[in-house]
Amino acid sequence: MPEALTLERMRADVARMLREDPAEIGLDDNLMDWGLDSMRLLNLVLGWNEAGLQLDMSEIGAETTLNGWWNLVQQRQA
* Domain locations in the chain as residue ranges: 7-77
Q: What is the pTM for the complete model shown?
A: 0.89
Q: Check: CB of residue 65 under 8 Å from CB of residue 11.
A: no
By the 10 Å C-beta count (0-12 exposed, 13-18 middle, 19+ buried), 11 is classed as: buried
CATH of domain 7-77: 1.10.1200.10
pLDDT, tens digit only, all 78 positions of the chain? 456 789 999 999 999 999 999 999 999 999 999 999 999 999 999 999 988 888 888 999 999 999 999 999 998 877
Q: Check: CB of residue 30 under 8 Å from CB of residue 66.
A: no
